Structure 1
Amino acid sequence: MKVIKLGGSLLEQPEALSALFQSLQQNDDDIVLVHGGGALVQQWLTTAGLQSEKVNGLRVSPEQHMLYIVGGLAGAANKTLMKQAITAGLKPIGLTLYEAGVLCAKQSENLGQVGVCQTSEATPGLLADLLMHGYLPIISSIGFGENGDWFNVNADDAAVAVAATYNADLLFITDVEAVLDGTGTPLSHLNSESIQQLTQAGVIKDGMEVKVRGALSAAKRLRRCVRIGSWNVMNNPFSGTQISE
């Protein structure tokens, strides 16, 4: 199984999404998609007249905001991806982390309904059945706890949790072909040491630094390499940037 985490920016790029799903249509691997959609959630909250703030990159999610957060992520964002997948001839099915066998819990009272994924040993169950019958699971980063509370989960963390639960490979699909060096040349491989060096030199910075550090954290947790790249990484295992410890 391969778990693909889709960067939120791709939701605003129909052509890139179309290319991704076309490549998935030609791929024989068991694929599971995990996505967020922060920009869409922010739009929904703003339209509703609700103030939203972030703490260390996490959106504070009070209970009164959750209708809009769930609607944006498990609703509009998820169904936008389903629409593109159906157009490409695939059989998508929208899920939350709960259906994928991943339970969540509250991270902190100060963050409201921001959730963290709990370690579990889920049986393949539903996902295995869906994959066997040719479905493409598309999982939003909305999670549930044992008592039914719903949570807004960081999408990167959600993807790592799904990959860890099913011992799957993990790919981070973004809007760039790879991590670039100081001359704009794609880097084929990075590890903890080279990431530290390039970050200190200002080569890896801003949004890319967040992506790289997230991939490095995932590689450490999964104890296997994680790849960052654009949609064409699906058909070319040598494209993108491989991140290891």
Structure 2
Amino acid sequence: MSNNFMTDRFYFSNDTLSLINKYTGSTFVIKYGGSAMQDFSLQSQVIKDLSLLYYLGINIVLVHGGGMFINEWLRKLHIEPSFENGVRITDSQTMDIVEMVLIGKVNKQLVSLLNQNSINSVGLSGQDASLVTASPMFDSSINLTGRVDSVNPKLLDLLLSNRFVPVIASVASDYHGNRYNINADTIASSIAVAIKAEKLVLLTDIPGVLLDLNDYSTLIKELDLESVNSLKSKNVISGGMIPKVQCCVDALNGNVKSAHIIDGRIRHSLLHELLTYDRVGSMIVL
């Protein structure tokens, strides 16, 4: 019998089996966002891959954004989305839409897809059980874009110990109940640290860290903190990659063992990244 067997074009090799053995019982925090969320067939494939990881004995915490869906609903309501330096300007009216779309629509759709794959999942936001406590990112009472102050892992620990998959929308509150729209990468990084996750995975619509943004063959598959600082100084890591990479660095500094940036538009990218030594994205380690 062959040492390889295949499921829908993903091959399980002896290397894969050793990685499964290594990670069984560990916890991965996976942030799901970008245009990989827009294509329903891709979304269904991501959920199936998450389900496989779950059935292999890996604990999953799924954190999601949904900026493109927020923009879609804002425009339906004749509100033009507004950004400053890549950060959404979130006034009170926009915050209402953010909550409705992320918590009421995107979150429940992901929970439903997981349930269809026989995965016990629970839809949450940072507001539930004071999971994430936030404060304003800007010195303004009008802009409700926030930052993470603290994470209370008790609810997540309870759910994970009973083999539930928490699905977390990137919305949080402060101690006074004021609501904030939080970057999903930031929440995922903070949660990974709080629950002592093995890995943080940013599943998005970019292939990872590239030496040349126009050439996907220049993907850097493994970086350490020294490499990250060097690439920043050379402006190779620039623009929107800076906050993504910083979330990874923050997780590593909080004792998460590795952080990954991968392209969710690639079929089975999660499995190729996590269950093979070839991988498809960028892994950042200390």
Structures share fold, TM-score greater than 0.5: yes
Distance 2:87 2:126 in 1: 18
Structure 1 residues 201 and 93: CA distance shift in structure 2, 3 A? same
**How much has 1:223 moved relative to structure 2?**
6.2
TM-score, length-scaled by structure 1: 0.84
Matched position secondary structure for 2:202:
strand
* 1:126 matched residue in structure 2: 155
Matched position secondary structure for 2:150:
coil
* 2:134 matched residue in structure 1: 104
Query: Structure 1 counterpart of 2:133, which letter?
Result: L
Tell me, yes or no, if structure 1 residue 191 matches structure 2 residue 230. Answer: no
Structure 1 residues 103 and 237: CA distance shift in structure 2, 3 A? farther
TM-score, length-scaled by structure 2: 0.73
**What does residue range 46-85 of structure 1 map to in structure 2 within 5 Å?**
46-85=75-114
Distance 1:23 1:223 in 2: 22
Distance 1:204 1:145 in 2: 32
1:185-212: CA deviations, max 9, x gaps? Answer: 5432123454465567776666556644
Structure 1 residues 175 and 128: CA distance shift in structure 2, 3 A? same
**How much has 1:125 moved relative to structure 2?**
2.6
2:275 to 229, 235, 239: 235
* 2:20 matched residue in structure 1: none
Distance 1:84 1:91 in 2: 11
Query: Structure 2 counterpart of 1:174, which letter?
Result: T
Distance 2:238 2:41 in 1: 26
**What does residue range 202-217 of structure 1 map to in structure 2 within 5 Å?**
211-217=244-250
* 2:147 matched residue in structure 1: 116
Structure 1 residues 137 and 204: CA distance shift in structure 2, 3 A? same
Matched position secondary structure for 2:181:
strand
**How much has 1:93 moved relative to structure 2?**
1.3
Distance 2:30 2:277 in 1: 14
1:146 to 153, 164, 175: 175
1:104-139: CA deviations, max 9, x gaps? Answer: 12222436111111135x3x4322222233321110
Distance 1:238 1:103 in 2: 38
Distance 2:150 2:60 in 1: 21
Tell me, yes or no, if structure 1 residue 16 matches structure 2 residue 42. Answer: yes
1:92 to 121, 128, 133: 121
Query: Structure 2 counterpart of 1:165, which letter?
Result: A
Distance 1:212 1:125 in 2: 27
1:135 to 153, 164, 168: 164
Distance 2:168 2:232 in 1: 31
Distance 2:125 2:277 in 1: 28
**How much has 1:32 moved relative to structure 2?**
0.3
Matched position secondary structure for 1:118:
strand
Check conservation: 1:34, 1:139, Cα contact below 8 A. Answer: yes
* 1:32 matched residue in structure 2: 61
Distance 2:88 2:240 in 1: 16
Query: Structure 2 counterpart of 1:244, which letter?
Result: V
Identity %: 29
Distance 1:62 1:154 in 2: 15
> Which consecutive unaligned segments of at least 5 residues does structure 2 have?
1-26, 263-268
User: What is the number of residues matched between the two proteins?
Assistant: 243
Distance 2:44 2:276 in 1: 17
**How much has 1:70 moved relative to structure 2?**
0.6
Structure 1 residues 217 and 133: CA distance shift in structure 2, 3 A? closer
Distance 1:210 1:125 in 2: 27
Q: What is the alpha-carbon root mean square deviation over aligned residues?
A: 2.7
Structure of greater Rg: 2
Range that drifts further, 87-96 or 126-135: 126-135
Structure 1 residues 186 and 32: CA distance shift in structure 2, 3 A? same
Check conservation: 1:16, 1:231, Cα contact below 8 A. Answer: no
> Which consecutive unaligned segments of at least 5 residues does structure 1 have?
none
Structure 1 residues 237 and 99: CA distance shift in structure 2, 3 A? farther
Check conservation: 1:141, 1:155, Cα contact below 8 A. Answer: yes
